[in-house]
Structure 1
Amino acid sequence: MFLKNSWYVAGWSNEIQRSLTQRWIIGEPLVLYRTQAGKVVALTDRCPHRRAALSKGNLIGDTVQCGYHGVTLDCSGACVAIPGQQQIPPSMKVRTYPVVEKWQWIWVWMGDPEAADESLIPDFRYNSEPGWVSTGGCIDVKANYQLLTDNLLDLTHETYVHTRTIGTNEIVETPMTQRVEGNEVHVQRIIKNAPPPPLFSRVRKLEGNIDRWQVIRFQPPASVTIDARAYPAGTDDLERGLRWFSVNTITPVDARTSKYYWTITRCFAQDDAEVTKTIHDSIYTTFMEDVEVLEAQQIMIDTDDSMKAEVGVRADGGSVAARRIVEKLVKQQSTALAS
């Protein structure tokens, strides 16, 4: 169940250079590269001649030459040369995709090009905002993208999965609130007068109990921002506290594989490289704990022939709402394509 009329991250800005890079997005193969002027191009990675992977070919100037028989395509996807013949069939072309470079990432619109709207790219401004510093990465996950958004919208799992970094008993003991605004889901949990998790203590040397905020925003199909804050208990003193944004967007490769792009962007200790490294390494460890759970979960889903429905709990509210929004948008997409 994929939403085509949407922006998906195809890579970090510094990943796409003057070479051919293959990406699979929602089951479709793409080849990406930068022109000599620095513009990012995304084409279908399938030669119209014999369906060889164009990404295995050569970048010549701003054109892509298929490495199998030498068919050459320009930035628009049109064929400009066929070895051994002058005539070029009108159908000798591939699709080109709208591309926007924003918030340190390369975004590709996978649906109707006429519907591509840059304003629909999630607001991840803190990845590039002055006064904030970010660190991040990309993790390949052998699981459906919605298992990742489920995970990010229900943070009660932190109590059990992430005891070494960001988990505490108080998370699961504190109720959350949830609301739906249009096509967005907002989940919030405020934990009062509780011990700080290990990572918070390491990077901010917090002493005594804290008030901890988890403010989550889901934007379809698979982007989740978590505004994480911690203050000395009973205060809103950010000078002695902590605030960062956990910025997450998942690109489905296919129904059972995803690329998980993430950053942690903070407004404290901006020039402290050691803090940056500690946060990066700890959060990477945290996310790899999630990956272990989710990949095992995907196997259990794939091998379950019982067709028995899952049994929901109260903490599922945010993830269920997000799935319903995506399902609604996919149905609208299918109706529009059928008409």
Structure 2
Amino acid sequence: MNNNSIEYRKLEHLIVCDHCDVEYKKGTLLEDVELIHSGISNCDLDDIDTSIEIFGKKLNSPLIVAAITGGHPKAKEVNKNIAIAVEELNLGMGVGSQRAAISKSYLEDTYSVVRDHTSSLIIGNLGAVNFVEDSWDEEIISKSVEMIDADAMAIHFNPLQEAIQPEGDVNFKGLNILKEIISNYNKIHGKIPFIAKQVGEGFSKKDAIFLKEIGFDAIDVGGSGGTSWAAVELYRIKDEEQKNFSNQYFNWGIPTAASILEVNSAFSGPIIATGGIRTGIDIAKSISIGANCCGTALPILKAALKSSEAVTTVLERMIKELKTTMFLTGCNNINELKSARYILKGDLKNWKDQI
């Protein structure tokens, strides 16, 4: 196999994420969100309702397994294990970039396997840069939607990863063509929610204004604090000079909590918080400051490489933590959590004051 092929690269990403230190050294700034404890609670923990409705689906909790993988036979097993757990708990999931299957049809089943195991929310995934570099159009979106019977389509923006990646596509100029492409898709193939997705560096207020104008229905902030794709690519680089260059960007990006505030100040559609979401407390804090739903990836990948049961265990733990946090803040449901009182501290407070 050609070591520069997409298929090989997908396998490298799985191996690096499973075995190497790829998480940001700086935090999400969710540590600067203090939820106010309710000393009387006034809730029954067993009756707390964490369900939400998003993209035409009702989920039992505001939790999505964020886009992880596809495009390699090993990825098929990972996606299968995630889908089984998602179906059991009635959550949502996204697949990794479908570019591999667009270029090599024999890899389609590494993505489509998810529909063999769940009828829950499935989010497709294509790269924004490819609509410029490869002249993709609405028919590529249609093929990707059909591949997994997607309920929504994420278009990911990853300029840092592409700049660091040896095989990177770096022409992000002219992304306003997405406005016409999204409009054409909705006219020709029927409307589907489009999600603008960052992959670890976050979106700013200025970005949110641009994405709203393009016609995106939702934004996944993909903030810094979780997996650093500069770190992932760093482990793949052989040249020492390039390694030193890449290492400077290990911690580049807008922390997740700050990105939620930035986007929420300019965008009224659903906001998904990803990037370092590791606990139910993180979910509760994210929702209280403006997110509608949260996603997590790296802990799920590590579990999915073992079994579907391991994935279920991680997700159940996060849901239990979310319910407990809601109980301790006197919130009976997610709408009440959205109105829960909180205090911003430290760097996050300073950041909000400058938005």
Name the TM-score, length of structure 2 as normaliser. Answer: 0.22
More helix by share: 2
More strand by share: 1
Higher RCO (CA-CA < 8 Å; seq separation 6+): 2
Q: Which has the larger radius of gyration?
A: 1
Name the TM-score, length of structure 1 as normaliser. Answer: 0.23
